[in-house]
Amino acid sequence: MAGHESHYILPRPEFDKPVKLLIVVSPYYKDIADNMVAGAVAEIEAVGGSYEVVEVPGALEIPTAIGISDRASNFDGYVALGCVIRGETTHYDTVCNDSSRAIQLLGLQGLCIGNGILTVENRKQAEVRADPADQNKGGGAAAAALHLIALARKWGAQTKGVGFKPASDSYRLA
């Protein structure tokens, strides 16, 4: 069973300046969402970060809320949390694919997002994945966002020497 495999987990990133994340959660399945938020909060607090939590109606609204926040606030990164359990219709496929695609597109625009939207076949799978003492996918999503923030800060501070650079005093004409 995949849930019992051993996986390598990157060490937590370290930050010299505080990080602030927005956790965007759909509490459609409230108990599952609460467990995922608990895992995410623990991971953020473990690096000394701060966070805010906002709720949206469903998984499809999560990327929209992240996009709105990016334009109107100052978060370093985002944690997307929700759960989609397969039902009797193809709506499951639409919600899974479209929410994931929208989050990926936001990430490709430079946003640091940890995607913790569970896409499962049944409630039992969701419970195991959401449980902070088991698979802790909420904590994993927060860890992913934190690692992306660390990379953005690392690469954002570098320059490649291309483009306009002001002349130093030694090159100025008298």
**For residue 53, what are the domain limits?**
19-158
Q: What are phi and psi of 51, to 5 degrees?
A: -155, 160
If we measure between CA atoms, which residue out of 92, 90, 115, 93 comes closest to residue 103? 115
CATH code at position 49: 3.40.50.960
- CA separation (Å) from 111 to 9, 60, 64, 169? 22, 18, 13, 38
139 lies in a domain? yes
Higher pLDDT, 1 or 162: 162
Count of structural domains, the chain: 1
Q: What is the pTM of this model?
A: 0.88
- As given in the structure block, the two tokens for residue 48 are 């000394």
Q: Is residue 118 part of a domain?
A: yes
d(CA 83, CA 72) in angstroms, rounded, equals 26
pLDDT on residue 1: 46
Domain annotation covers residue 104: yes
- Provide the edge-to-edge strand list for the sheet that holds 113-120: 50-55, 20-25, 77-85, 113-120
Say which residues have a Cβ less than 8 Å from residue 113's Cβ, sequence separation at least 6: 66, 77, 78, 79, 80, 103, 106, 107, 144, 145, 148
Mean pLDDT of 139-149: 98
Asked about 91 being catalytic, the answer comes back as yes
Residue 6 inside a domain? The answer is no
pLDDT tens per residue, range 111-138: 999 999 999 999 999 999 999 999 999 9
Q: H-helix or E-strand containing 142?
A: helix 137-156
Instruction: Read off the pLDDT of residues 41-70 as tens digits, 9 standing for 90 and up.
Output: 999 999 999 999 999 999 999 999 999 999
